[in-house]
Amino acid sequence: MVRNKVGGNKSKKMGRKYLNAPQTKALRMSREEAEMYAVVDTMYGHGMCNVICLDGKERLCIIRRKFKGRGKRDNMISLGSWLLVGIREWEVVREGKKPKCDLLEVYNDNEKEQLIKRCKQDLTPLIHIMKTNNNEDEDGNVFEFVDDQTLVYQDLLDISGNKTVNDKGNSRGHKAHSQSQKQKQSQQDEEDNHHVTEIDIDEI
């Protein structure tokens, strides 16, 4: 029997003795009009997530018990996951509420490639949504938390840095001007010495 080193009933439920041998299952595709492909847009928790379906509508996806507990191992849902959902056509939607749908299948990366090749429907909207979500994550999910004292300190550092740069620029300008003046003075001295020597030779 597998020894439980973690403890607690939650870890025992996910033990290795419940792990079945990997089996090649058939690709689950849409069979009816009420079954639609979708992409996860937001994870809410408590067995719910927000999905954008192939028709462009946002729906509240209900994660059924089948995909929880021991069944969660091969059905991990995250932002950008592709799903097959069942639309609740019989449900009456109130004003200001999102329509609900039920989770039917979770596709991994390999199944996603097979679905793009074999599916007769146009899946380009799902691919576009997934790419936009990835770009937003790379660009926008960067937060910096600072207090007022830190902001004041950063402003002082910026001011001091600008002053040092200006001082360096002024010092370089003064050095270049002084060097040019020295070169002019040395050239003038050489010309004066040459003129004096010529006068001395003629007088001799």
DSSP 177-200: HHHHHHHHHHHHHHHHHHHHHHHH
What is the rounded CA–CA span in Å between residue 62 and residue 131? Answer: 24
Domain count, the chain: 2
3 state SS of 163: helix
Supply the CATH number for residue 49's domain: 2.40.50.140
57 assigned to some structural domain: yes
pLDDT score, position 67: 84
| Type of residue numbered 30 | S
Using one digit for the tens of pLDDT, what is the confidence trace for 11-41? 666 666 556 555 567 888 998 889 999 999 9
pLDDT at position 150 is: 75
Q: Same structural domain for residues 118 and 167?
A: no
Domain that holds residue 180: 144-204
DSSP 3-state assignment of 70? helix
Which tokens is 196 given?
């004096």
pLDDT at 174 over 60: no
Q: Give the mean model confidence (pLDDT) for residues 56-72.
A: 85
Say how far apart CA 53 and CA 178 lie, in whole Å: 73
Of residues 33 and 174, the one with the higher pLDDT is 33
CA 3 to chain centre: 40
55 shares its domain with 131: yes
Q: Is 170 left (phi over 0), alpha (psi -120 to 50) or beta?
A: alpha
Q: How confident is the model at residue 99 (pLDDT cuts 50, 70, 90)?
A: very high
Last residue of some domain: 100, 117, 140?
A: 140
